[in-house]
Amino acid sequence: MPTEPETDYDPELGRKFIFVTGGVMSGLGKGITAASTGRLLKNAGFDVTAVKIDPYLNVDAGTMNPFQHGEVYVLKDGGEVDLDLGNYERFLDIDMTFDHNVTTGKTYQHVIEKERAGDYLGRTVQIIPHITDDIKRRIREAAEGNDVCIIEVGGTVGDIEGMPYLEALRQFAHEEDEDDILFTHVTLVPYSKNGEQKTKPTQHSVKELRSIGLQPDILVGRCSDKLDIDTKEKIALFCDVPTEAVFSNPDVDDIYHVPLMVEEEGLDEYVMERLDIADEALPEAERENRWRDLVTQQTEGEVDVALVGKYDLEDAYMSVHEALKHAGLEKNVDVNVQWVNSEKMSDHHADRMREADAVVVPGGFGARGTEGKIEAIRYARENDVPFLGLCLGFQMAVVEYARNVLDLAGAHSAELDADTPHPVIDILPEQYEIEDMGGTMRLGAHETDIDAGTLAAALYGGESCTERHRHRYEVNPEYIDDLEDAGMVFSGRAGNRMEILELAPDDHPYFIGTQFHPEFRSRPTRASPPFVGLLEAVIGEDAHAATTEEVSH
Ligand code: GLN
């Protein structure tokens, strides 16, 4: 787990803070609305960052089950965080750090450690002011060096866990100048049976917020459609905001269109006015419009990609989905992801895989569904189907090769079969002694050296890449020579650690696996090379000869 910095912040720096809370129910996509607003501010020339507050007691998201919470997102400093941070990184095209995710576990742990160290000697340590002070410190430190910081409070107003945070925000508002702070509240506007947009849930939620001492400046209504003017007026009247401070957030097919929607309603302009930064914004004609061009371009063709995993939940593989989408934006094709349940390879899931143009086996933990993944890899290898294996997918590609090409019966990863006669994937030596599960894997950005003349070199356009990791196991050095003699090429290494595997062009059109997770660095405006290569292989471009425009990877 990354260590926490404790720097002195200067409250006079004049940064702007946009707080985003949610009402009525969770899952309204307030993060996407916030990130979209941030994107527009960035297009207008401002440096924007974000903080995600997760009011749970876990110190970080690393120990959480993807089925309940969606994927664990990994930052470059190795922070294991909520997937919302991935959205902020993608929308704002920034690299965040572990301290941009504030959790109750982290805050309490820090305050209690300070108490044990004697830092509060003589005093009673309390939620107010010690926890609330620590929350405010974290927000200010994370905002450092930026013009605008968006702070999203997870959960909904009224949750017991969220109370200390809302209290901290209330204090925060008193400590900063009025035009440096903006409160945005996102709520649900449902339809009644007779087709009327209902504002009562919004009214109640704002009432709750006000009882804690917070008055929203902006209200965003999540609704299947845009809010009618009557609805906006009613919300404005009951919630004590001007009508022009009420915005819609209607359903859209593609989350990358939300910034366009936000812009259409003028939320970004309103935010700039209220924060008194409109004069510093770039004139409309000079604003960055690459995002708009990319997400509105006319695509030519479709690619079906089979994603072979154990969770029937898009959020569990969110960054992989997004990375495929980004590659599609770069290659101008629509990517349809077909979920293939690796536990059901004997039924229609296998048919679905066979109908797809490419196969991706993503990361994972635990034995469930791994035989199906191995089967999928074999199918892709033997049938020249473009294949990308990520982390566990990379490891299973080694297992498959060992079993079916090297004839090592029962070869496996020591993680998944402790008694395997051939542990071709084994625990990292530095992990032997580690017993704690939280924050102890090989995490975050590490550099990989790439061999010249390989597929990996063509994809990354250079001799190295720096990608993010999250693993405890690796290729067992004892099997490397045998695997290479049998045709597997380890084209990327970090010391004697195998990072990238591939098959030679004579053996396969596109077969690549990475011990790292390239999906975490993929952005709509900067697609990840292994994903781009996968699509190129499908649409008939020679991925082995490809060079990406971006050599910065
Ligand atoms: N379970 C494997 C390991 O720990 C792979 C991890 C992953 O896919 N993120 O090495």
pLDDT tens digits along 40-62: 999 999 999 999 999 888 887 87
Query: Residue 236, class by beta-carbon neighbours within 10 Å (0-12 exposed, 13-18 middle, 19+ buried)?
Result: middle
For the chain, percent of residues with pLDDT exceeding 90? 75
Query: 16-279 and 299-539: same fold?
Result: yes
CB 379 within 8 A of CB 359: yes
> Kind of pairing, strands 334-341 and 358-361?
unpaired
Q: Is the dihedral of CA 194, 196, 201, 204 positive or negative?
A: negative
The predicted structure's pLDDT at residue 548? 44
The predicted structure's pLDDT at residue 545? 65
The predicted model gives 424-448 an average pLDDT of 84
Q: Is the dihedral of CA 87, 92, 93, 98 positive or negative?
A: negative
The predicted structure's pLDDT at residue 57? 85
The predicted model gives 225-243 an average pLDDT of 95
The predicted structure's pLDDT at residue 454? 96
CA of residue 483 to ligand 1 center, whole Å = 20
- Residue 438 counted as an annotated binding residue: no
The predicted model gives 143-149 an average pLDDT of 93
The predicted model gives 112-136 an average pLDDT of 93
| Out of 115-119, 393-397, 543-547, least confident range | 543-547
The answer to whether residue 17 scores a pLDDT higher than 60 is yes
Residue bearing the CA closest to ligand 1, atom 7: 363
Q: Which CATH architecture does the domain made up of 299-539 adopt?
A: 3-Layer(aba) Sandwich (3.40)
The answer to whether residue 345 scores a pLDDT higher than 90 is no
Q: Is the dihedral of CA 62, 65, 68, 72 positive or negative?
A: positive
CA of residue 480 to ligand 1 center, whole Å = 19
Classify domain 16-279 at the CATH topology level.
Rossmann fold (3.40.50)
| Out of 59-73, 395-409, 478-492, 537-551, least confident range | 537-551
Q: Catalytic amino acids?
A: 391, 517, 519
CA of residue 305 to ligand 1 center, whole Å = 22
From 368, 431, 472, give the residue whose CB has the most ligand 1 atoms within 8 Å, as the site to mutate. Answer: 472
* Exposed e or buried b per residue across 309-348, where buried means at least 16 C-beta atoms within 10 angstroms of its C-beta: bbbebeebbbbbbbbbbbbbbbbebebebbbbbbeebeee
pLDDT in tens, 301-329: 999 999 999 877 778 899 999 999 999 99
Residue bearing the CA closest to ligand 1, atom 3: 471
The predicted model gives 502-511 an average pLDDT of 96
| φ, ψ (nearest 5 deg) of residue 496 | -100, 25
The predicted structure's pLDDT at residue 1? 58
- To the question of pTM greater than 0.85 for the whole model, the response is yes
CB 370 within 8 A of CB 396: yes
CB 17 within 8 A of CB 172: yes
What span, in angstroms and rounded, lies between the C-alpha atoms of 159 and 431? 38
The predicted structure's pLDDT at residue 4? 54
Collapse the DSSP code of 52 into the 3-class scheme (helix H, G, I; strand E, B; otherwise coil) and give the result: strand
The structural domains of the chain, with segments of one domain joined by +, span 16-279, 299-539
The answer to whether residue 123 scores a pLDDT higher than 70 is yes
Where do we find the tokens 């998944």? Answer: 416
The predicted model gives 75-81 an average pLDDT of 94
What span, in angstroms and rounded, lies between the C-alpha atoms of 406 and 393? 19
CA of residue 341 to ligand 1 center, whole Å = 18
- Residue 52 counted as an annotated binding residue: no
Collapse the DSSP code of 466 into the 3-class scheme (helix H, G, I; strand E, B; otherwise coil) and give the result: strand
Collapse the DSSP code of 24 into the 3-class scheme (helix H, G, I; strand E, B; otherwise coil) and give the result: coil
What span, in angstroms and rounded, lies between the C-alpha atoms of 111 and 79? 20
Q: How many Å is the Cα radius of gyration of the chain?
A: 25
The predicted model gives 68-86 an average pLDDT of 91
Using H for helix, E for strand and C for coil, what is the string for 276-341?
CCHHHCCCHHHCCCHHHHHHHCCCCCEEEEEEEECCCCHHHHHHHHHHHHHHHHHHCCEEEEEEEE
Instruction: Name every protein residue with a CB atom under 6 angstroms from any ligand 1 atom.
Output: 363-365, 391-392, 415, 470-473
